[in-house]
Structure 1
Amino acid sequence: MIEYKEILKEYISEYYSIYFNYDEKWGDVKKAEEYLKKYWLTADEYEATWKKIQCNIFTDINRKFPEIGYKDEYDIYCNAGGCLFTKEDFLILQSGMERLKDHQFVIIENVSGSYNNLSIPPITLRFPADISWEELNSGNYISSFVINFSEREYFVFSNSAKWGYYATNDNYIPLGVLGLKNKNIFEKFNIYEPDLQELISHLPNHLKSKVIID
């Protein structure tokens, strides 16, 4: 059975189209399926390769935010939320991946304590580190849902295990958290200082203590 079959059926719903880029027609199943064929991360590969990397970065991966944490050696930057990430955010992550010579990164939906239909598998995607923003968004309603829908939570990390990004659900507070082993590899996100302090104020204590203050 194709793991993403139910995903193709579920997220074509017009309910999700309010987050869509209207330069295209919503609901192009062919584009969506081609995208998933190309970038889907199978459950077997996740278990064999990527779960170990994930567990080397994050703590409590079977929980939701704010219980999610980072291993001791990681410090964090905060980012505004409301979507998985913007183009500007992604280019910051990609620049760091280039410096680290990463070759792949993954996006893993966190369905722990799930708010969605558990008959639908979590979205798990694997991409080349040098993918363009345009290609990342080329999956019609699937890529639009993943990148723009604000009511899901995701882990994002690469093969190097030197960083990990967590995007929270708007039901908590819209923010992103970037955990880093080396703060000099990544630029800070461009956030107005009072807004940044507001985001930090909503972090649980176990993450507040890790915030990088320059």
Structure 2
Amino acid sequence: MTEFERHIEFYKLYWHQHFSKVVPEDKWGDKKLAEEYLKKYWLPEQEYLSVWKPIQDKIFVQGKSLPNLIYHSEFEMIVANGGCLFLEEDFKQLQKAILSIGEMYFVVVQNIQEYTNGEPMFRMKFPVNITWEELISGNYISAVLLEMSLNEYFVFGENGNWGKYSANDYEHPLDIIGFKSELAPIFQEHFKQPKEEQQEIREWLPQEYKKLIK
């Protein structure tokens, strides 16, 4: 049995199929596409624990989610509206930023939440140059991973100097992008926000974040 066997069966019949924009309802359930996708992009537990978990722990504070601070103190942050792991536009924004700093791969690790107890959890590894069309090619697996509006995820690369946290289950869903100061010009360039949006998001931020984000 593979590490992702339960994902294939569990999500094949899933309430989210009624809401997906990535996969039309009448196309949902293509097991072959789901299996092929997971074979290519699943992050094995052994690799995660030996290679990626130590990087994750240098970026994110273990066991934390909003309203607590999730980044270590040396990270600056940009906060945007959230609601899912990626939309096409914000994926391409992030992709341009991390391509420019020389990343080869990024990983997506689902955070444990109370309601996910018993659900198969995602650990994925993607090449940074993946196209949006390929990212959504896994039929119902892509749809749940990218669109599920309650799942929360850590996203980060090998360099360990940036990360994204998708706080989709927070009262106001947020995307929090953290980066070390030397990368500030790159991320600020690729994630420009209108002042009105910045002010609105600031109202939603937990108090600990308001102290740090100007």
TM surpasses 0.5: yes
Q: Is the CA contact (8 Å cut-off) linking 2:8 and 2:141 kept in structure 1?
A: yes
* Paired AA for residue 7 in structure 2: I
Deviations 1:89-117 (A, max 9, x none): 11111111111100110000001x43123
What are the ranges of 5 or more consecutive residues in structure 1 without an aligned counterpart?
none
Runs of 5+ in structure 2 lacking a partner? none
Matched with 1:104 is 105
Deviations 1:3-41 (A, max 9, x none): 111111111224011124245711101000110011000
Provide the alpha-carbon RMSD of the alignment: 1.8
C-alpha contact (below 8 Å) 2:64/2:70 kept by paired residues: no
CA deviations on 1:99-139 (whole Å, 9 max, x unpaired) are 1100110000001x431232x44200001111111111111
Work out which of the residue numbers 187, 191, 207 in structure 2 matches 1:189: 191
SS at match of 2:160: coil
1:190 Cα offset (Å) = 5.2
Indicate the residue corresponding to 1:115 in structure 2: 115
Contact 2:59 2:162 in 1 (8 A): yes
The residue number in structure 2 matching 1:142 is 141
In the alignment, is residue 209 of structure 1 matched against residue 208 of structure 2?
no
Percentage identity across aligned positions?
Answer: 39
Counterpart amino acid of 1:153? E
- Name whichever structure is richer in helix by fraction: 2
Match in the other structure for 1:151 = 150
Structure 2 letter corresponding to 1:98: L
Q: In structure 2, what is the equivalent of residue 84 of structure 1? A: 85
Q: Which residue, out of 19, 29, 33, partners 2:31?
A: 29
Q: CA deviation at 1:203?
A: 1.9
**Aligned residue number for residue 133 of structure 1:** 132
**1:73-98 deviation line (CA, Å, top 9, x unaligned):** 11111111111121111111111111
| Cα separation, partners in 2 of 1:68 and 1:3, compared to 1, 3 Å | farther
| TM-score, normalised via structure 2 length | 0.90
Give me the whole-angstrom Cα distance separating, in 2, the residues matched to 1:28 and 1:132. 20
Count of aligned residue pairs for this structure pair: 209
Question: In structure 2, the residue corresponding to 1:67 is in which secondary structure?
Answer: coil
